Chain A
Amino acid sequence: MAIFETTKNKYEIVIGLEIHAQINTKSKLFSNSNTKFGAEPNSQVSYVDAAMPGMLPVLNREAIFKAAQTGYAINAKVNSYSIFDRKNYFYADLPQGYQISQFSDPLVEGGTIKIKTSEGDDKVINITRIHVEQDAGKSIHDQSPDSSFVDLNRSGVPLMELVTEPEISSAFEAADFVKKYRNILRYINSCDADMEKGHLRCDANVSLKLLGSKELGTRCEIKNLNSTKNIQLAIDYEVARQAEILDNGGEIRQQTRLFDVVTLETKTMRDKEDAHDYRYFPDPDLLPVNLDEEFLQKAKDSLPILPDAKKAKYIESGISEYDADVIIADKNVTEYFDQIFMKCDIKLAVNWLTSELFGRLKKENIEINNSPVTASNLLGLIKEIEAKNISGKIAKEVLDKMFISGEEASLIIERDGLKQIADDGLILKIIEQIISENQDKVAEYNAGKEKLFGFFVGQAMKLSKGKASPQLVNQLLKEKLKK
């Protein structure tokens, strides 16, 4: 259990997360406008998105399908009946004066996500719900001293909001939860989950209670955390802030707070007394969402193998848990690895991917899906090693060349004459040359200085420009020197 200890008290940290994920549909939740990121301001706005008089929302079923898939991916119940409600409040970037969301009857309820604690143990976090809603637009305040601007491109973009039970006990766990959820979203392709592009935004509800106490403390909600690093930093700060107040006999005020990425502090946004009364009620412009068995079954059946199941499969095939975690942590890596998995030696596959290729990608700061070495080319290289056409050392050289040119291993080996010499005659010739040129060393060796064996191997490799098969050199040298 994660405990926060001050000089005065020991506290348990209680965290619940609310994560908004943008459902990656082509069009918006209630209109057919494009959802593409980075377009000219207000270039992707329909009359519906701008809430022109008399305009009506029409539900995008694809968004519901993807949200249902997400529900099944976290082992949740997907409701065949759910309702869209209006959440009423005024803001310049909220054209309708209400957000269409789900309040009383959400699409998804329950579910779990497995995370790691900071001690490395597995922990299951229960999910309360996922509901579907539309995003607001964006207010821009820094373009002019006396005017604000509104960009409605995001207005109406589909979101699904996941709410966890307050079962997360540390900033580390919170960050790991977001990583695990993000990975699931990418696996099932219901959200691009790029935090920098705002596909994923997280609110954290943080409270402290004295160790052993049954009573939950007053919570503060930190809004709009946009990276796993900021989630961790914000929670760390907030925990320390609340502990200091409690240590000094103070009371936590229920607040909504914002995280300042410059000072790394959380700051008051509004007090509970200023909270909106959202006056939720069912949106009369939309019918309840009724999903038939066929729709739900299709959402269930279309799920790919998920990270946890993948991991189990890898471990079963002899991959270490550590390596399996590395491979499943990124959907693109998994997809890459699956193209070589079971097609060659597993140890070679893992090693050449996770240390050799990753090392080169990291150095050049390239993402796996932009790797100049394709999965099939990496497999080709491993096949050359397995066929003993090249040694491991030469293989690294070949990979370097592949990394620059994107060519196949076999082509480089052939062209640059890197193929391992596996011809007894040729190697024997080299060995004979070494022996005749180093008679003194041969005598020393025969006199018992066996360490010199390595010298002869080195000479043989040097003369063959590294191409001689190390095993053959070893074998033939031993035979020759004995004589």
Chain B
Amino acid sequence: MNNMNGRSRAMGAMVLAMFIAVFVQLNVIQVARSDELANDPRNPRQIEASFNEPRGSIVTIDGVVIANSVPSEGRYTTQRVYPQGSLYGHITGYVSIVYGTAGAEQSFNDLLSAQTTSADTLGSLFADRTLVGDVTLTIDSRVQQVAAEQLAGRRGSVVALNPQTGAILAMYSNPTFDPNTLGSQDQTAVRAAWAALNDDPLNPLLARSFREVYSPGSTFKVVTAAAAYEQRPDLVDKAYPQLSVLDLPNTSSDLPNFGGSTCGGSLTELLRVSCNTGFGQMGIDLGPQALVTQSELFGFNSEPPIDLPSAASSAFSPVSAFDQDIPALAQSAIGQRDVRATPLQMALIAAGIANNGVIMKPHVLAEACDTTGALLRQYAPSAWRTAMSTANSGALTNDMIGVVVRGTATRAAIPGVTVAAKTGTAQTFGNSANAWLISFAPAENPTVAIAVIIEDQEGLGDITGGRYAAPVAKAVMEAALSAQSIP
């Protein structure tokens, strides 16, 4: 009998032990890992809650509302709307009940989402004390609009930014998507829209401007030129021989000039006509280390510090990849082979040259204010990298002005404005090519730097950067300069 009492107590101890185990595990979940679980981006708890709460709006620098929340009679009390449809899809991203947040909605979620202020009186304990932050972006709707018009019907991207601050003025890529379709309160509709976007072979969800890498082609020659200015000044004035094909060792695929033309001469002359044979040889002369160093100074092989999520890194092969591979070195020097860059990266290269060699951190946030107008956050420009000296960037700017004045980028010229640019026609798989242009202006005191890529597609015929990308860059440049003059 007494033994049975002991064993009854033992059962109690067992239950106690089980409960202690649960309690310990609860502490792990609710205390130790609480923040991690609560802030897990896959946690739909936050998003679902946000559907019942006010959320700040997102506006462009010129005051166009591109995302805001309106009261709803549906399942949740608010509905997120994107009044401009697909125009800003890749910038705003979305708030989806199923797929979470993306884009600026994700980056600035802490500012946009409702914050409860502390109650200062007992009466205000149950009053509405929620405040939201309204976010103003550096994007200018007038520039964004022109970029979209220029790319209409064509796959490609435009990135325009202010080289002095890193403020992005326009960032558009085609095809794009309408975030309204993913912001529905109906989960089934959201899933269907998501499936349709993902099944589209053109992948409209992809923000090509900062998440897709391309072969940069001849636009990369400015990096090779910068490497010469910075690390082998003796090569700047070297007279490269007049050739139509550069004979490369150990390979049957030699390096020809575009259209079989013959070119040569100094760096300035090579850049003006985008001379493959000259830059191929210059790459060989520079050696792999100089090219790797200079490309990394411009931001290759690191994620650009833009305040939007998941920007892709651009790539330049490591020194070891060029071991015993002279052809790879020559091809990389003209932006072919394994060199890969996002349109944003190419815009940052233009911006660095424009801004005395200093690349400012790219950003889309201008400022955020709460409902009462109090400033929550203001972006302060800061430098990301110093890619070149002031003197060398000035020299390279002059070379790039030459490209516009009487080189391959004459279509990028704007009357009354000194434009510096470099074209690129990057070969992709097969016989097709992507048309590139990077530019900045006014060259004396640049306030706009642009990268444009038009992806090859049927119906465009012989694609070249000078023919297809330059007019786009010109239109966007004009829009940006005009927007800057009329705030």
Does B associate with A? no
